[in-house]
Structure 1
Amino acid sequence: MTTLLITHPAGFGHAMPPGHPERAERLKAVDQALEAERFAALIRVEAPLGTLEQVTLCHPASYAQALIDSSPASGFVQVDGDTFMSPGTVEAVMRAVGGATAAVDEVMGGTARNAFVAMRPPGHHAERDRAMGFCFFNHAAIAARHAQKAHGAARVAIVDWDVHHGNGTQDIFWEDASVLYASTHEMPLYPGTGAASERGAHGTIVNAPLRPGEGSDEFREAFEIAILPRLDAFRPDLVVISAGFDAHWRDPLASLNLRETDFAWATQKLMDIADKHAGGRIVSVLEGGYDLDALARSTAAHVGALMGA
């Protein structure tokens, strides 16, 4: 059983205005980190193009088509205060969708034990019919729905350790008892959601907010007390990780103080849950992380843990 790395050069084609933190250099940093010798055993494949049918597992067709149709021939289209489209955005987004669903196919099909999808832009802020926070379509949510529709997964857990709360994932699954969404994140911080009192219609939303300045001890305590017992009781058939690395102490967009060892630790804890309930099946998708060195080191720690390396 192997770890699969799915990426595509189209991720570099999603251009941003000068100075924007969600820049193509992020993906280059991840690529370079995973070229190290310790990652030689990774199975590397290119992300296929996702389909509109896959996108509509979580987003209305009218929203998805309107977003695709708004792609500029040159320059930028501003979708919200910090979210921009360039001529390469649609392919990058659709490759991210295709990468996430292909990862599910390989992991649920048994050809890979787990997978990491290294694509940009991120996705977890994308609500059902709203692009925001650098995000257009919600790749983690689409992966979960694809596992259910195409592979018969009864229960899917999405665990999100990005420093920003995944309001989009919470929005999509608020009424759904078959998907558990669990998040650690800094609060107060953009986008303003993610209070512990936000539990969803069926109690399958688990928010464990952290205060600005908190670090490894508080993060691990939140995992041990709030998240892991709920995952264990939920017994997921697949674990999806929204793997943002902007809770690292070096990141410029937030104020938590995690280190790369924390991401490796959390990865191993989720692997233990997946081994117990899901045949080891994990699909991880890249979300945030805006300091290039921290992103590279944290991704390496995460993927190394997935590989057992």
Structure 2
Amino acid sequence: MKILVTGAAGFIGSHLCERLLQDTSLELIGLDAYVKSSTPVHAREYNLRYLLQHPRFTFIQQDLLKVPWDQLLPGVDIVYHLAGMPGVRSSWGEDFKYYITNNIEATQRLLEGCHAYPITKFVYASTSSVYGEKTGQVNETSSTEPLSPYGVSKLTGEQLCRVYAHNDRIPVVILRFFTVYGPRQRPDMAFHRFIKHILQNKPIPINGDGKQTRDFTYVGDCVSAIAATAYADNIIGETINIGGKERASVLDCIAILEELFNKKVEQQFMGKPIGEPSHTWADTSKAQSLLGYEPKTDLRRGLKAEILDIVNNPFL
């Protein structure tokens, strides 16, 4: 079976490719455009360092808006569409044009390609940001009311998937990720910034009062769920939450980092950012039932793994 992974040099994409290649029956094409974002080129090259040596992995550095489908999609069975422009805070103002290009236009063009060259599954990576501010546990039937332009762009991608599923029978599956963390996490994300500041003996910048909570999903658990879609039956047309083993506040996470570093860290409280909900909490019962998903990594283990990755990464 041949699989195309877009965004293969990214945080989640590189982990997914490594997980899929554990199945010796799979052949992978990894596509990444190295789009302008918070992840520098050398970090993407670091993410790919093992994949580029693998005999069943082919890497193509190409923009989804320019790639010729007749050279890429024939023979592909599954498309994992992880490519896109990430980040809530950077999606305001002039930079929103990059979200339109990379999250909306690129998705539409890829769906057109999959109409011309039919596949068996199109798995779209979405986000909990589409839900907006919610109270309590959120399931997939909850209303979608994004608080940021980023969330709007990802929800638009979801709607495009549904339009093409309805009109062109594209076999779409939508996965909504909740705050993924772990080794190779993007430099702009909170845990990465916290760890770097501790290593540099700088105060940790905290947005808001630190009491906001997140459903934290370890990247290894996340890619287990994504990879499971390759083998699962009866998931076409489904939207599925992918959450983590443990919810916690930002202050709780800092306390774990203090324990792991065995030091008290200085905290610098910033203003509350716009576009971010106070709390997220995924109902993952659908993922459990359809994908056999059961997150295994708690925050202490996951943060320890991320610390080791940052310490041992020569490019950071």
- Which TM-score applies when normalising by structure 2? 0.37
- Which TM-score applies when normalising by structure 1? 0.37
